[in-house]
C-alpha cells in the first residue's frame, strides 16, 4: 500500500482547498514529501483555521493562492492541470453556523458547487476528495455508526456538509468527476487553531491543559466519541484518493475504539502533566445540539481502501502536546 501511495502522488499535481488550515496543511506537508506538486487555496478569513506557520516545513515547495472558494474565476484557473483536488475549505464551526447560517451556506454549499462546476468544465478527469463530518448522521440510532445509518443533522454546519457531499456525489454519478466522500470523526493533532473554543474540542482541551487551566466537562462526562489523530486522517485521505474502488463511495474516517470525555480529559491532563478538569452544565444551546454517543464503524474503509488508524490516543496526545509546547507563539494568538 505504501508503494502505491508513493507512485500515486510522485510528480502529480494536487490542489488543496483550505490548505492553510488544520487538516489541509498536514495533508499539504505529506503530499509535498511524497513528491507531489502542491497548490494551496485559502482565504485566511480571521478566526477560521488558516495559519501561515502551518506550512512552514514546506513553504518553498508549496504554491499558495489566497482566494475564496466562492470565487468562480479563481477556481476555474486553479483546477486546471490538477490530478487531485482535496476539498477541505469551509466554515467549520457548528456553533457559529447556528448564530449566523449564511457564511456556512455560502461557503460550504455554494462554494462546493462552484468548485464542482470548475471541475466539470475545466478538469473533469481530476480525482476529488471531500472531507465531511460525522455530524451528518446526527444522533446515533445504533453504535458503532456505519455509512448506511440515517442522516439527521442537528445543525446548519452538518446540513451544509451533507448537502456538499450530495452535490459532489451528483458530479461523480452524472458528470463523471470521480470523487471520494469522507465523513470525519473528531480529529486532533498539530496545526489546529488554538485561539478559541468554537471548534476542535480535543485541541482546545490540550491548550487549557498546557496553560494549566481548568477543562470543563459537560454533563457527567460519559458521552462517547472516537478521536482520530491528524496523521492517520491524512493517510485516510491520500489512500482513498489513490484507490479506484473508493471513487463514488462514502467512508467513515475515525476509530472504532470509543473514548468518553472523562477518559479524554484524564488522558490529556496526564500526558500534558498540567491542567485539571471539573464537571459543568451544558449551555441550553450546546444541549440542544448534542447528538450523544458516537463512534465510527470503519469496516468499509478498512475493506476497500485498506486504511485504519495506527496512532493510540496516548501517543497522539503526546505528539500534540509536544508540537504546541514548542510552537505555542504561533498558535496562542495571531
Ligand atoms: N477537524 C475536525 O475534527 C473535522 C471533523 C469533521 C470534518 N472536518 C472537515 O474537514 C475540513 C477541514 O477542517 P479543518 O479542521 O482543517 O478546519 P480549518 O478551519 O483548520 O481549515 C479550513 C481552512 O479553510 C479555509 N477557508 C474557510 N473558508 C474559506 C473560503 N470561503 N475560501 C477559501 N478558504 C476558506 C480556512 O481559512 C482554513 O484554513 C472541513 O471541511 C471540516 O468541515 C473537520
CATH of residue 169's domain is 3.40.50.720
Backbone angles phi, psi at 66, to 5 degrees: -85, 100
Indicate if ligand 1 lies below 6 Å from the C-beta of 107.
yes
Place of cell 473554543: 197
Q: How far apart are CA 265 and CA 216, in angstroms?
A: 9
Indicate if ligand 1 lies below 6 Å from the C-beta of 264.
no
Does some domain include residue 261?
A: no
Partners of 145 in the beta sheet? 296
Count how many domains the chain has.
1
Does some domain include residue 314?
A: no
Q: How far apart are CA 247 and CA 126, in angstroms?
A: 11
Indicate if ligand 1 lies below 6 Å from the C-beta of 202.
no
Q: Which pLDDT score is estimated for 3?
A: 64
Residue 124 lies in domain: 2-192+226-255+295-309
Looking from the CA of residue 132, the nearest atom of ligand 1 is 7
- In order of 14, 109, 160, 314, 329, the CA distances from 132 in angstroms are 19, 12, 9, 26, 30
Q: With cut-offs at 50, 70 and 90, classify the pLDDT of residue 257.
A: very high
Q: Is the pLDDT of residue 203 over 70?
A: yes
Residues in contact with 265: Cβ distance below 8 Å, sequence separation at least 6, in sequence order: 205, 215, 217, 221, 277
Ligand 1 centroid–CA 71 distance in Å is 17
pLDDT digits (tens, 9 = 90+) for 59-82: 999 999 999 999 999 999 999 999
The residue-averaged pLDDT of 76-91 equals 98
Whether the model pTM is above 0.95: yes
Q: Which pLDDT score is estimated for 104?
A: 95
Among 21, 155, 264, residue to substitute to test ligand 1 (most atoms within 8 Å of Cβ): 21
Does some domain include residue 143?
A: yes
Does some domain include residue 275?
A: no
Ligand 1 centroid–CA 91 distance in Å is 6
| pLDDT-wise least confident of 201-205, 286-290, 306-310 | 286-290
Does some domain include residue 28?
A: yes
Q: Are 318 and 271 in contact (CB under 8 A)?
A: yes
Does some domain include residue 77?
A: yes
Angle at Cα 49 formed by Cα 45 and Cα 54, nearest 5°? 110
Indicate if ligand 1 lies below 6 Å from the C-beta of 228.
no
Among 28, 92, 201, residue to substitute to test ligand 1 (most atoms within 8 Å of Cβ): 92
Amino acid at each position: 500500500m505504501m508503494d502505491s501511495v508513493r507512485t500515486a502522488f510522485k510528480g502529480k499535481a494536487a490542489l488543496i482547498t483550505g490548505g492553510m488550515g488544520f487538516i489541509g496543511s498536514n495533508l499539504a506537508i505529506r503530499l509535498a514529501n511524497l513528491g507531489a506538486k502542491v497548490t494551496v487555496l485559502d482565504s485566511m478569513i480571521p478566526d477560521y483555521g488558516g495559519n501561515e506557520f502551518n506550512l512552514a516545513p514546506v513553504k518553498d515547495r508549496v504554491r499558495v493562492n489566497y482566494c475564496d472558494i466562492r470565487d468562480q474565476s479563481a477556481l476555474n484557473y486553479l483546477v486546471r492541470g490538477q490530478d487531485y483536488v482535496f476539498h477541505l475549505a469551509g466554515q467549520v464551526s457548528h456553533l457559529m453556523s447556528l448564530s449566523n447560517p449564511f457564511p456556512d451556506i455560502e461557503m460550504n454549499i455554494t462554494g462546493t458547487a462552484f468548485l464542482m462546476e470548475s471541475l466539470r468544465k475545466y478538469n473533469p478527469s481530476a480525482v476529488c476528495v471531500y472531507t465531511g463530518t460525522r455530524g451528518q448522521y446526527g444522533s446515533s440510532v445504533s453504535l458503532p455508526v456505519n455509512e448506511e445509518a440515517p442522516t439527521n443533522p442537528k445543525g446548519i454546519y452538518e446540513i451544509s456538509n451533507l448537502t456538499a457531499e450530495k452535490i459532489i456525489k451528483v458530479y461523480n454519478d452524472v458528470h463523471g468527476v470521480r470523487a471520494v466522500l469522507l465523513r470525519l470523526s473528531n480529529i486532533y493533532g498539530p496545526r489546529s487553531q488554538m485561539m478559541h473554543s468554537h471548534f476542535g474540542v480535543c485541541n482546545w482541551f490540550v491548550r487549557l491543559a498546557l496553560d494549566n487551566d481548568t477543562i470543563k466537562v459537560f454533563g457527567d462526562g460519559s458521552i462517547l466519541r472516537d478521536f482520530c489523530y491528524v496523521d492517520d486522517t491524512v493517510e485516510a485521505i491520500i489512500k482513498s484518493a489513490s484507490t479506484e474502488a473508493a471513487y463514488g463511495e462514502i467512508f467513515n474516517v475515525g476509530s472504532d475504539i470509543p473514548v468518553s470525555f472523562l477518559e479524554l480529559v484524564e488522558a490529556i491532563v496526564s500526558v500534558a502533566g498540567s491542567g485539571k478538569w471539573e464537571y459543568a452544565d451544558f449551555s441550553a444551546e450546546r444541549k440542544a445540539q448534542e447528538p450523544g454517543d458516537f463512534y465510527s464503524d470503519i469496516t468499509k474503509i478498512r475493506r476497500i481502501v485498506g486504511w485504519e488508524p495506527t496512532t493510540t490516543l496516548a501517543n497522539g496526545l503526546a505528539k500534540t502536546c509536544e508540537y504546541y509546547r514548542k510552537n505555542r507563539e504561533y498558535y496562542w494568538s495571531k
